[in-house]
Chains A and B, each alone.
Chain A
Amino acid sequence: MADLGPLWLTLKLASAATLVLLVIGAPLAWWLANTRSALKPVVEALTALPIVLPPTVIGFYLLILMSPNSALGGFWVSVTGTTLTFSFTGLLIASIFYSAPFMVQPLQSAFEAVGRGPLEAAATLRASPLDAFFTVAVPLSARGFLTASVLTFTHTIGEFGVVLMVGGNIPGETKVISIAIYEHVETLRYAEAHQLSAGLLIFSFAVLFLVYALNRRFPINVS
């Protein structure tokens, strides 16, 4: 039986990254969907970067940013006494950057599809902007939230290059499934590699299948 540690660690990382990105990504996507600011294309380009850059490039800069010699890394060491690099927290920060487009882009499209109309209606019914966001924009973008969360979660599970750069291979701390598989292959333990690979494949398929099936069976009514 393969060691299940990497599996739990991967699920923990993906869940945490998805939750944090929901909190950060939703306001960012909201801002992008509604702003007329000249900064919009800059921010859009920045959030899209992880899609086009090799993970090693992101990983490299994050490694430099989080190293104890940098301002951020040094601050972290002085506050917590541990380094950001090669830790779960560092891995989580890296995952948030790496998976951000998968949260922000679907949400931005969903908010844009809702449009100003329902929110203007809410405003004329005395709903404050925050109130209208939670009671009108979010429910009407429910499908976008589902898509964004699933993509972020599964994309974080599949991440390899960034993890390798900033996380390394510490069991229980940074050794996620993709790293474990790589290690098994390197050491020619194909049986274990198979178990984890097949497990990840089936899990990912099952999650995606469930989402699409639910979507079809219970379409979220936003017309």
Chain B
Amino acid sequence: MSVRQLQLSAELALSDFTLKIDEEIALSGITALFGPSGSGKSTVLRILAGLEGRAAGRVVFEDTVWADSARNTFVPPHRRPVGLVFQDGRLFPHLSVIGNLRYAESRSPAEQRAIGFDQVVDALDLATLLERKPDGLSGGEKQRVALARTILSQPGLLLLDEPLSALDVRRKGELLPFIEKVPDVFDIPTIFVSHAVDEVARLADQAIILVDGKVSVRGELPELFQQLDMHGFTGNFEAGAVVEARVTGHDAEYKLTMLDLDGRKIQMPMVASLNMGDQVRLRIRARDVSLALSKPEDMSIRNCLPALIEEVRAEPNTAFAEVLVRIGQQALRARITRQSAVELKLEPGGEVFALVKSVSFDRRVLISARA
């Protein structure tokens, strides 16, 4: 997968705060730009696309200067090899689906047409929609067309501005697989804006967290989501850790899939589409993890993993404490009561068993054994 260097330093006064960013990012696969609503994420994409002419600063992609306010350099949006999929799709209502796609294709530089029309229609499953007008499409279909249209403009950098936020849960689930295969199939580095932690966990290879117009944390996934200070971004209920595991087999009788998490065995409801050896990403919510000092027998919870306590953080003025435990190279978070933490004498360095009640599988297969 190609790696592209992006240098972005920008300053722009917005209504509530000033966006101020100075980052050098090696873009590869999907980079999530993550943070609460109104933190300036979409504005960053607009600056990259050249739609915020007022922004001061410097944008350099690979070796090309896109903007440098100090030298009065500004490459207008239509001359930047960047594609932006807007939150609302912004399909042209006067053109059919095929008209929208051809609009983009015909304006891409002929010598750069590495991605074929049929290939995109195929990958995004648009064959049956081509003659339709955008008005007759569902929200998810619109976003698929918008994504296809942008890919057909042959961008060197793909920007997705919360393409899922206008969709309900089911449509979201339909669109996610299409988005996650873009970097692999078309080899376009992608920046994906989202305020939903589950989307980021599933799609992203690295994440940049933006709060009030400033970069707060930046790092690779899944490590980033294993840090306790992620708490503020994910909220108590959804907070959890993302871990990577390898599929070791299925139990057809009990409908279970067995996985290996850094030498520990875990199981989850069967996902038949996984093959032995597939590397997958799992999300385990802190509220689904309990801790025990000894290995409990006679218990319904099947996933019992020996772990080492790394950090205990009591939440002042609440009943709860969060405990970060290490399992091999990876980490899990457990949300327990403060009282339990005190009575069990949970301290960093202590050995415990992490009891995982349920595992949710982020459908992204990182390394497929079949491939």
Task: List the interface of chain A (C-beta within 8 A of B).
Answer: 117-118, 120-129, 131-132, 135-136, 139-140, 142, 221-223
Contacts and interface: CB of A to CB of B under 8 A. Distances in A.
B93 A125 contact: no
11 contacts: A117-B90, A118-B90, A120-B77, A120-B86, A120-B90, A121-B90, A124-B84, A126-B79, A127-B103, A222-B94, A223-B135
A205 B133 CA distance: 34
A35 to B, nearest CB: 13
Contacts of B88: 117
Contact of A127 (B90, B107, B133): B107
A221 to B, nearest CB: 6
Interface of B: 49-51, 76-79, 82-84, 86, 88, 90-94, 103-104, 107-108, 133, 135, 149-150, 153
A142 B92 CA distance: 14
Contact of A125 (B51, B135, B153): B153
Describe A's contact surface by its main secondary structure.
helix
A131 to B, nearest CB: 8
Among A121, A128, A132, residue most surrounded by chain B Cβ atoms (within 10 Å)? A121
B51 A123 contact: yes
Contacts of B108: 126
A120 B339 CA distance: 55
Contacts of A132: 78
Nearest to B76: A123
Nearest to B105: A125
Among A124, A135, A136, A222, residue most surrounded by chain B Cβ atoms (within 10 Å)? A124
Nearest to B146: A121
Contacts of A221: 93-94, 133, 135
A125 B104 contact: yes
Given A118-B90, A223-B93, A124 B135 contact: no
Contacts of A124: 49, 51, 77-78, 82-84, 150, 153
Given A135-B103, A140-B93, A221-B135, A125 B149 contact: yes
